[in-house]
Structure 1
Amino acid sequence: MPSRINKDSASMKEGKYSIFVVPKQDVSKESLDIFSLKSPNGRKSLFMSTIQGDLRELRAYSDSYRSWFIGDVIESDGRLWIATEFDPIFLALPYLKEGKRVPLDHLILESRITDSPFLKNRLPLVADPIGNADLNVWKLNDDKCMEYLSKKVKAIAKVLSENSIHIDSTSAEGFSKSSSTKGVEEHYLKYSWGLISDYIDKETSIQLKSHMNIITDETTTNKRRSSSSGEGSSKGLKRVKSAPQEDYLSLPKETRASLPQNSKQKALAKSATGSKNITSFFSKK
């Protein structure tokens, strides 16, 4: 754990201490450079730069009623920050989509992004250089970009499938033991596409879905609705509210009196002939 942290995020100023899990080779003993950047989907995320110049995304694991005991201090901020590998291409894509033919360091003013060796190595996979290489001007190549993102989606889906990762409560819905392997793979692809979509803008996400021929739940629902509109379907049928056909409490007195009596009831009625009602003893005289 470094002795000093350089951070500019308000979300980490609640307490005096913060606990991080960071690869030892990524940080120095002196400091940890933490900063926030706006992701393409609009949310702010925390990042750290490694001593090699690459970026790591910081994801917080939090639980209710959690604190840290640090020496003789109780830190109420019980979050655990975990540094994960991050592809800076995701941060560069929105700038490249603007189509401005200017040097990359003029297009992206955040030097932590442009200085990343990872970005410099991967940029040719999504964009084409324009003019002299020394100018560092790039133009987004849609075909390359879709292919690059597709490989990421497939790589995630492969890991989830090989490890039989349980995704959610609906992951097994519609897939029995006899279900085709293709159907399960398509489900993992759809889920992985959703994960990648958290790091790209909506337009690119839709474009990627179309490129990979991924069918979302909405489309599947529409298909099911159209298939059920044929002959013998329940479309147009209304649920009939079940209720008693007669109100037995509102039967007329004649009907109540005319109800058949058994032998025991007849004997009681005969013995009560000529007797007074119990309420007559309490009436005023």
Structure 2
Amino acid sequence: RDGMDGGDRARARQHVFLLPEYFKDASKKMKSGLMFVKLVNPCSGEGTIYLFNMCLQQLFEIKVFKEKHHSWFINQSVQSGGLLHFATPIDPLFLLLHYLRKADKEGKFQPLDQVVVDDMFPNCILLLKLPELEKLLQHVTEEKNPEIDKKKYYKYSKEKTIKWLEKKVNQIVAALKTNNVNVSARVQATAFFSGDQASSDKEEDYICYAHGLVSDYIPRELSDDLCKYLKLPEPSASLPNPPSKKVKLSDEPVEAKEDYTKFNRKDWKTEKNGQGERNDQVALCW
């Protein structure tokens, strides 16, 4: 950005983000309060862009609202595409599971700083700065605390993890019911039921739908194990893909095809260029 002249800045691609209101104070409390980071996607294993709140030590995933033929008017420019990015909180334990399961192949207890190591995504060390980390790890690991040193040693526990994921499913089911979300039609449109096979158990519909949401954050193998543990029906391979939704809120993560980290700034307030016109790289919607 610093090497751009006024015209280049005006033509630079801009993005619109919808963030929690309390983010406004992040840059005031820390110089680098908000930071885009490339981390491993716990489902696909690919690089995905996340937003890290350095001040509050929270991790957020980026979801995208998509509709055709939409544009944004930002200051004095028009940004084609009309994408709206949402920053939503994500449980960091889903990302830690990727490293715990990988380290479990060695079959031994290890300190966390030796488990969460990644040459491709070195920012993974930010996960170790999150609050109540040891409390979170109790849900998915066995741990040892040898007397010879003060370090704790961890080992992935599949049994604990499945039970933790079951709790996640139950929490989603409760939230769906509280908000009166009808999921029967959505479940039948996916691979769980054919068009002429109506679900006789509405509770199962909720569990199937919640399992599908949780599966977006875990690898396929773990999703299949959870499916068996919940005693859900096997997906039907003969069913066609469900029709596209009218509202395009993408279930896909924001892959690391574009360098969002260039938007990391010491100050997220708006700036003025040399001609006195406001020109933001990122338009924040509060």
Please state which band the TM-score falls in when normalised by the shorter chain.
0.5 to 0.7
Q: Which runs of structure 2 are paired with 1:113-124 in the superposition (5 Å)? A: 113-124=127-138
Structure 1: which 5+ residue stretches go unaligned?
Answer: 5-13, 222-285
Contact 2:49 2:62 in 1 (8 A): yes
CA distance in structure 1 between the partners assigned to 2:188 and 2:177 by the alignment = 15
Going from structure 1 to structure 2, the CA distance change for 1:134 and 1:76 (only over 3 Å counts) comes to farther
CA distance in structure 1 between the partners assigned to 2:129 and 2:144 by the alignment = 19
Structure 2: which 5+ residue stretches go unaligned?
Answer: 2-10, 118-123, 240-286
Q: What is the aligned counterpart of 2:41 among 22, 39, 43? A: 39
Does 2:211 correspond to 1:214?
A: no
Moved more, 207-216 or 84-93: 207-216
Q: Secondary structure at the match of 1:117?
A: coil
Residue 153 (structure 2) aligns with: 137
Contact 1:175 1:184 in 2 (8 A): no
Structure 1 letter corresponding to 2:163:
E
Q: How many residues align?
A: 205
CA distance in structure 2 between the partners assigned to 1:15 and 1:165 by the alignment = 40
Displacement of 1:46 in angstroms is 2.2
Q: What is the aligned counterpart of 2:170 among 117, 137, 154? A: 154
Write the deviation string for residues 101-140 of structure 1: whole angstroms up to 9, x where unpaired. Answer: 3321221131111211153431112112223383232112
Does 2:51 correspond to 1:59?
A: no
Contact 1:87 1:119 in 2 (8 A): no
Structure number with higher helix proportion: 1
Q: Secondary structure at the match of 1:151?
A: helix
Moved more, 29-38 or 66-75: 29-38
Displacement of 1:37 in angstroms is 1.9
Aligned residues: percent identity? 28
CA distance in structure 1 between the partners assigned to 2:187 and 2:68 by the alignment = 23
Contact 2:68 2:81 in 1 (8 A): no
Does 2:56 correspond to 1:48?
A: no
CA distance in structure 1 between the partners assigned to 2:50 and 2:215 by the alignment = 19
- Larger relative contact order (C-alpha < 8 A, sep ≥ 6)? 2
Contact 2:142 2:156 in 1 (8 A): yes
Which structure is larger by alpha-carbon Rg, 1 or 2?
Answer: 1
CA distance in structure 2 between the partners assigned to 1:55 and 1:118 by the alignment = 13
Q: Secondary structure at the match of 1:36?
A: strand
Q: What is the aligned counterpart of 1:71 among 58, 70, 75? A: 75
Superposition RMSD in Å = 2.9
Write the deviation string for residues 146-188 of structure 1: whole angstroms up to 9, x where unpaired. Answer: 1110010111122223333233273696798xx86xx001011
Going from structure 1 to structure 2, the CA distance change for 1:169 and 1:92 (only over 3 Å counts) comes to closer
Contact 2:111 2:152 in 1 (8 A): yes
Which TM-score applies when normalising by structure 2?
0.63
Does 2:110 correspond to 1:102?
A: yes
Residue 4 (structure 2) aligns with: none
CA distance in structure 1 between the partners assigned to 2:205 and 2:187 by the alignment = 13
Write the deviation string for residues 211-247 of structure 1: whole angstroms up to 9, x where unpaired. Answer: 111123339x9xxxxxxxxxxxxxxxxxxxxxxxxxx
Contact 2:110 2:155 in 1 (8 A): no
Does 2:146 correspond to 1:112?
A: no
Going from structure 1 to structure 2, the CA distance change for 1:164 and 1:217 (only over 3 Å counts) comes to farther
Residue 14 (structure 2) aligns with: 17
Write the deviation string for residues 224-280 of structure 1: whole angstroms up to 9, x where unpaired. Answer: xxxxxxxxxxxxxxxxxxxxxxxxxxxxxxxxxxxxxxxxxxxxxxxxxxxxxxxxx
Contact 2:69 2:81 in 1 (8 A): no
Which TM-score applies when normalising by structure 1?
0.63
Q: Which runs of structure 2 are paired with 1:189-200 in the superposition (5 Å)? A: 189-200=207-218
CA distance in structure 2 between the partners assigned to 1:113 and 1:71 by the alignment = 36
CA distance in structure 2 between the partners assigned to 1:170 and 1:215 by the alignment = 12
